[in-house]
C-alpha cells in the first residue's frame, strides 16, 4: 500500500517490474492536495449501489470471472492476466475487512487531531489502521505541504522556511504513529523506516537552499527487530563526509531485511531467467542495530 506518493519523477518505481501487476502497490490519495485531510484518502466505489443486493453482486462477479477466464484462455499474455488480476484484487478488497480501514471517521477527534488534519497525518493514521488489519507493507509519503507542495524536501531554495513547514507536519504525525503503535502492542512487530533518497548539502546556496548531497545522509529505524536509542555513525564537524562507521545503501537494506526476518541474500529469477538478489551480496547488516 502506498499513501499519497509523488510518482511524477519516477513512475516506474511504483510498479512491480518483472513480478507483474499483481504485486504492484495499491495507491491511495495520490491526486489530493497536500493540505487535504481524510476524504482525500478514501477509496471510491468500495460498496455497491444500494439497489444491488449481495446475491446480485455475487452473480455478476461470477459471470465476470467466467468471461475473463474464457478470454484469458485464448489470450494468455501479461495484459490479459494483469486485467483479470486487477479486477480480482478490487473485488477482494470490496468484500474484505480491509475496506473498513479507510473509514477514518471511526477514530476519535482527539487521535485524528494528534496525527494532524492533513494528508500526511491522516495517512499515518491510515497506516496504523492498515497494519492492524494485517497489511504487510505500508508507505506514507510527505512530498510537500501547501505552497511548496511541488518541491517538497527538494529545498534548492528557501530551505529553512520549507523544512520548518514540512517538519510541522511530519513531527506530530510520526510521533503519534510511534506512540499509537506502542500503546496498541503493535510496535514490537512493526518496523518503522524513515528515510529519503539522499542527504542535502551542508552548505547553503545563493538561493538560501540546500542541494543534492549523496555523500552524507541519515535514516531512522524503529520498532520490530531494532535496538533503538542509539546513533550509528558520525559525520565530520562540517557535515561533508562520514567520519565514523560508514553504512552503504546495501548495508542499510540488508539491515531492514534482517529485522523483518528476510534473507537479504535470497536470489530470485526474473521473467527472462536473470538471477536477482534482494540485496547486493557485498551488503553487511548493521549488527549493533538488529535485535
What is the pLDDT at residue 37?
53
Of 248, 238, 253, 252, the residue nearest 214 (C-alpha): 248
175 assigned to some structural domain: yes
What is the pLDDT at residue 150?
60
170 assigned to some structural domain: yes
**Number of folded domains that form the chain:** 1
161 assigned to some structural domain: yes
Q: Are 199 and 213 in contact (CB under 8 A)?
A: yes
289 assigned to some structural domain: no
253 assigned to some structural domain: no
What is the pLDDT at residue 289?
94
pLDDT in tens, the chain (291 residues): 899 888 887 888 888 888 887 788 889 988 655 555 555 787 877 777 888 888 888 888 888 888 888 888 887 777 777 777 777 777 877 777 788 899 999 999 999 999 999 999 999 999 999 999 999 999 999 988 865 556 789 999 999 999 999 999 999 999 999 999 999 999 999 999 999 989 999 999 999 999 999 999 999 999 998 999 999 999 999 999 999 999 999 999 999 999 999 999 999 888 889 999 999 999 999 999 997
* Residue range of the domain that includes 137: 2-186
113 assigned to some structural domain: yes
C-alpha dist (Å) from residue 271 to 15, 18, 19, 189: 15, 6, 8, 33
29 assigned to some structural domain: yes
The residue written with cell numbers 492476466 in the block is 81
162 assigned to some structural domain: yes
What is the pLDDT at residue 54?
82
Amino acid at each position: 500500500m502506498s499513501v499519497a506518493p509523488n510518482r511524477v519523477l519516477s513512475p516506474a518505481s511504483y510498479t512491480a517490474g518483472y513480478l507483474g501487476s499483481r504485486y504492484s502497490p495499491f495507491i491511495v490519495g495520490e491526486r489530493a492536495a497536500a493540505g487535504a485531510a481524510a476524504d482525500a484518502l478514501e477509496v471510491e466505489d468500495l460498496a455497491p449501489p444500494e439497489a444491488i443486493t449481495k446475491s446480485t453482486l455475487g452473480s455478476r462477479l461470477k459471470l465476470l470471472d467466467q468471461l475473463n477466464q474464457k478470454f484469458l484462455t485464448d489470450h494468455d499474455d501479461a495484459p490479459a492476466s494483469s486485467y483479470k488480476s486487477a479486477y480480482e484484487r478490487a473485488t477482494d478488497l470490496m468484500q474484505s475487512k480491509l475496506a473498513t480501514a479507510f473509514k477514518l471517521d471511526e477514530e476519535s477527534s482527539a487521535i485524528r487531531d494528534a496525527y494532524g488534519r492533513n494528508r500526511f497525518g491522516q495517512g499515518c493514521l491510515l497506516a496504523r489502521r492498515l497494519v492492524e488489519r494485517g497489511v504487510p507493507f505500508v508507505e506514507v509519503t510527505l512530498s510537500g505541504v501547501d505552497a511548496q507542495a511541488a518541491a517538497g524536501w527538494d529545498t534548492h531554495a528557501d530551505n529553512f522556511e520549507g523544512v520548518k513547514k514540512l517538519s510541522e507536519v511530519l513531527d506530530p504525525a510520526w510521533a503519534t504513529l510511534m506512540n499509537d503503535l506502542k500503546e496498541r502492542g503493535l510496535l514490537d512487530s512493526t518496523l518503522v523506516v524513515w528515510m529519503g533518497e539522499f542527504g542535502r548539502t551542508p552548505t547553503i546556496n545563493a538561493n538560501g537552499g540546500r542541494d543534492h548531497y549523496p555523500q552524507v545522509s541519515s535514516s531512522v529505524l524503529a520498532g520490530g527487530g531494532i535496538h533503538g536509542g542509539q546513533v550509528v555513525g558520525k559525520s565530520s564537524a562540517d557535515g561533508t563526509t562520514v567520519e565514523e562507521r560508514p553504512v552503504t545503501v546495501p548495508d542499510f537494506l540488508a539491515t531492514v531485511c534482517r529485522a523483518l526476518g528476510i534473507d537479504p541474500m535470497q536470489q530470485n529469477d526474473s521473467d527472462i531467467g536473470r538471477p536477482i538478489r534482494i540485496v547486493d551480496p557485498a551488503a553487511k547488516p548493521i549488527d549493533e542495530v538488529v535485535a
